């Protein structure tokens, strides 16, 4: 069979080019949200009290809402379950964790023991720079209080204690405290408080003053009083569920 002539080849190129022009450019598939983006979005929604304890987190609806694959959603939920923010049950799927009253009591007891040790170490490592950092953080807390932004107040309150752990420089203790602070945020979210000023007293400034004094007994007393105050303010009646849909909560 003789090879195609140059004319035939040119005709083929023209036909292919014309077909491409008629069909137009192929639409690009939208980029899917990453596992980390889903994890951060859900974690923030839980810790800022947007997603209430017990809220069902189904993989397929979440994937559609967040524009992600089911596999990415599943991995993000696994990470949240590892942190204790999500509970996973066979044949039922995932939901925001629901701490019990006993969980709350155990957590506050553990926090006092760990945080006293952290604060005493931090006092030995305190520098003018770290003092300024804590003072600026307290100022941010007061600004949130003035705006009655209670979700932000709770988040900043937890961050204050993490900052003290960073100053202490003990990595294992910092990990333990971070885990407890995360779980405490969930407990406060679930049970609410009897009084909104449970996190708004001047106790963080008093803790900073105790750290600056270097007195281990005063440090322990300030930390224990602070945590006992938070525990006393927890209302053991669960908060009412948010009536909005999952899509409205995550994208609203």
Helix (H, G, I), strand (E, B), or coil: what is residue 53? coil
CB 65 within 8 A of CB 246: yes
pLDDT reported for residue 252: 67
Structure tokens at 224: 């224990």
Q: Which of 86, 44, 52, 43 is CA-nearest to residue 192?
A: 52
Q: What is the C-alpha to C-alpha distance for residues 69 and 212, in angstroms, rounded to an integer? A: 50
Q: What is the C-alpha to C-alpha distance for residues 146 and 153, in angstroms, rounded to an integer? A: 10
pLDDT tens digits along 44-100? 888 777 888 889 999 999 999 989 999 999 999 999 998 888 999 888 889 998 888
pLDDT reported for residue 193: 61
Beta bridge partners of 88: 94
User: How much is the CA Rg of the chain, to the nearest whole Å?
Assistant: 26
Mean pLDDT on 142-163: 86
Q: Which of 134, 116, 138 is CA-nearest to residue 228?
A: 116
pLDDT tens digits along 189-237? 667 664 444 455 689 999 999 999 999 999 999 999 999 888 887 776 6
Phi, psi (degrees; rounded to nearest 5) at 29 = -75, 135
| Contact residues for 66 (Cβ-Cβ < 8 A; gap 6+) | 33, 37, 38, 41, 73, 250
Q: What is the C-alpha to C-alpha distance for residues 49 and 185, in angstroms, rounded to an integer? A: 8
pLDDT reported for residue 251: 78
Alpha-carbon dihedral of residues 53, 55, 58, 63, nearest 10 degrees?
A: -90
Cα 52-58-63 angle, rounded to 5 deg: 110
Residue 186 has pLDDT above 60, yes or no: yes
| Residue position matching structure tokens 């931090």 | 122
Q: Which of 236, 233, 230, 125 is CA-nearest to residue 181?
A: 230
Helix (H, G, I), strand (E, B), or coil: what is residue 193? strand
pLDDT reported for residue 243: 74
Mean pLDDT on 158-180: 94
Q: Which of 117, 40, 109 is CA-nearest to residue 80?
A: 40
CB 200 within 8 A of CB 112: no
Helix (H, G, I), strand (E, B), or coil: what is residue 86? strand
């Amino acid at each position: 069979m003789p090879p195609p002539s140059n004319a035939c080849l040119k005709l083929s190129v023209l036909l292919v080019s014309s077909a491409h022009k008629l069909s137009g450019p192929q639409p690009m598939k939208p980029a899917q949200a990453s596992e980390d983006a889903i994890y951060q979005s859900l974690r923030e929604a839980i810790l800022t009290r947007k997603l209430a304890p017990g809220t069902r987190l189904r993989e397929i609806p979440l994937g559609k809402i967040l524009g992600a694959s089911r596999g990415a959603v599943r991995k993000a939920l696994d990470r949240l379950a590892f942190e204790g923010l999500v509970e996973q049950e066979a044949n039922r799927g995932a939901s925001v964790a629901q701490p019990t009253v006993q969980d709350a009591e155990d957590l506050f007891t553990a926090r006092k023991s760990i945080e006293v040790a952290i604060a005493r170490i931090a006092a030995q490592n305190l520098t003018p720079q770290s003092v300024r950092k804590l003072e600026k953080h307290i100022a941010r807390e007061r600004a949130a209080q003035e705006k009655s932004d209670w979700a932000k107040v709770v988040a900043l309150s937890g961050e204050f204690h993490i900052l003290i752990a960073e100053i202490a420089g003990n990595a294992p203790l910092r990990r333990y405290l971070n885990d407890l602070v995360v779980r405490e945020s969930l407990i406060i979210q679930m049970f609410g408080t009897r009084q909104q000023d449970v996190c708004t007293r001047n106790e963080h400034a008093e803790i900073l003053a105790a750290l600056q004094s270097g007195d281990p007994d005063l440090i322990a007393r300030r930390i224990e009083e602070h945590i006992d105050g938070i525990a006393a303010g927890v209302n053991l009646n669960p908060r009412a569920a948010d009536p909005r849909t999952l899509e409205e909560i995550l994208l609203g």
